[in-house]
A and B are shown apart, each in its own frame.
Chain A
Amino acid sequence: MSDSIDWIARAGARAKGKRPEFLDDPSAERMLSILLAVVGEVSVLKQRLDTVERLLDAKGTISRGDIDAFLPDREAAYERAVMTKEYVARIMRGVQQNMEAMQTEERPVADISIELRDN
């Protein structure tokens, strides 16, 4: 630990340069940042749990040090990367579907409802 620096606060320091306004509402920007950070932490938790499970399978009883020292072999690394890829796809489902929707022209379902009523 580096005592002379508040490393937790300094880790999150901003970069000099005006941040673009991506979203209309500043609070939406803040919420997105918080949400994505939490999304990242859930991924970290899943990976840690995967480590614990692999170690338990291998050793039966494990220590905290075992978890921190764990290095995945090629097969485990591949499986964990697939898990993370799937996780990202799941949390981003809404965005992906929005992208697919851009490639179609669809009327509101209410319009179709009227059409079906009358035909």
Chain B
Amino acid sequence: MKRQDVPPPYTAVARHDVFPTPTHDEAARFDFLTAFNKYLSGTIGAGNKIAYEKRVLPAFRAEHGRDPKDRFEIRRAMNRDPWHRFWSACKRNSMEMRQQNGRSIVLRQLDRLDATARQLNEGRDTLQLDPNITTPHYQNAVDIHCMPGSYHGEERPGDVSAGANYDCGIFATTGGGLGALSDGGGQALVKWIQQERPGWKPTRILDIGCTIGHNIVPLALAFPDTEIIAIDTAAAVLRYGHARAQSLGANNLRFIQMNAEDLSRFPDGHFDWVQTTMFLHELSGKSLPKIVREAERVLKPGGLMLHLEQPQYSDAMPLYEQFIRDWDAFNNNEPFWSAMHAMDLKQVMAEAGLPRDCQFMTGVRAVVDRNVFPQQDFGEGEDHGRAAVWNAYGAWKPAA
């Protein structure tokens, strides 16, 4: 058996000052959940396609005299298949168990976490919360990916439980694929921009929907002279994210509670780089283009807009793949995921003022310390939606 056939231990996850400290058994429970997730996605994830090809598709053809015309027809048929149902039940339980373990670790030591966060947050102008920012409807409809309380919930006023729970569980959900600080995505962005524009030193970067800032901290550390602003609508995760960033020395990073649908506090062309990382799929049909338009407005001519996401659906992607990539949309409380991945993002960016000939798409793989976190092998099928591989949909705004 190769090293990369098994994940690293949860004890290898880095612990910054405000990271919740797991007991031996709590870490072991995350080790189990990591192994279980890898098994469900890698070893037996293939069972879904087998069920489809061996019985669901033949039955569909027999009943309708044609192939399924979209991913929804496949989903309705697969949701009657006992294999897929049982696999889905295991996968959903796995997420619920991850949430319980994370919350248990965090809530047990919330006094310490809140006190440490307060020390790192109090009196610093790098954290600006605004009680007038309300939770948008698309964040209130369900608790996103089964996090009780979602990003904005509090167990008691001013606590950091939402962010701490989010931070401590990433390892289990991604099979350890994002590195010790769960920032493999942010590290990938650093590597990508250094290869794309060697020597480029942006003056000002905006990270939209930063959550706990795990993907923007690597950029802040790689560009210490750059002013970086990270925004989110949820105070609960900003509180934690700021404390985390301060603990990791990212002092050029300012966290502001804002709704990206209204960036009026920033003038036109204010930023060299506007970034979103695994954010667009948690919006809505109307807010997404609005946010992209605002992002374009505050982007300097010659500047970079970049959105890191799972791949968009297109005619080039088999319908079965679209269906299985949609699993989180319907079974893991990611309701906008399905519609979002079917959107024509290039068209949205073009309508926002970034013409197609300045747009690009590139693959981005998580960058992690391979000594500790060996390249994870997910077996026959990619773990659609959870693997540490994304598409970056971007544009260099034409110079004035």
A residues sitting closer than 8 Å to B (CB atoms) are 1-5, 7-8, 10-17, 19-20, 22-23, 29, 32-33, 36-37, 39-41, 43-44, 47-48, 51, 67-68, 70-72, 77-78, 80-82, 84-85, 87-89, 92, 95-96, 98-99, 102-103
Contacts and interface: CB of A to CB of B under 8 A. Distances in A.
Contacts of A80: 9, 31
Given A85-B38, A99-B46, 15 more contacts: A2-B109, A5-B156, A7-B108, A17-B142, A32-B90, A36-B93, A40-B32, A43-B28, A44-B25, A47-B28, A68-B23, A85-B6, A85-B39, A88-B32, A92-B44
A88 B146 contact: no
Main secondary structure of the interface of A (DSSP, over half): helix
Given A77-B8, A102-B83, A2 B143 contact: no
Contacts of A32: 89-90, 93
Contact of B50 (A81, A95, A103): A103
A72 B11 contact: yes
B379 to A, nearest CB: 12
B6 A5 contact: no
Contacts, number: 166
Contact of A81 (B35, B107, B110, B330): B35
Contacts of B32: 39-40, 43-44, 47, 84, 87-88
A44 B46 contact: no
Given A32-B89, A33-B96, A84 B31 contact: yes
Contacts of B107: 2, 5, 7, 10-11
Contacts of B99: 15
A102 B104 CA distance: 39
B369 to A, nearest CB: 12
Interface string B61-72: 000000000000
B83 A98 contact: yes
Interface size class of B (residues with CB under 8 A): 35 or more
A40 B50 CA distance: 27
21 contacts: A2-B110, A11-B101, A13-B148, A15-B143, A15-B146, A20-B330, A36-B97, A37-B97, A40-B36, A44-B25, A44-B29, A47-B31, A47-B32, A48-B25, A48-B28, A78-B3, A82-B6, A85-B39, A87-B35, A88-B39, A96-B43
B110 A7 contact: yes
Contact of B24 (A13, A17, A48): A48
B344 interface: no
Nearest to A6: B107
A67 B24 contact: yes
List the 5 shortest-distance A-B pairs measured between CB atoms, nearest first: A17-B142, A81-B6, A7-B107, A22-B89, A11-B104
B59 to A, nearest CB: 13
B281 interface: no
A23 B331 CA distance: 13
Interface of B: 1, 3, 5-9, 11-12, 23-25, 28-29, 31-33, 35-36, 38-39, 43-44, 46-47, 50-51, 54-55, 83, 85-90, 92-94, 96-97, 99-101, 103-104, 107-111, 141-143, 146-150, 155-156, 330-331, 333, 335
Contacts of A82: 1, 6
A19 B332 CA distance: 9
A43 to B, nearest CB: 4
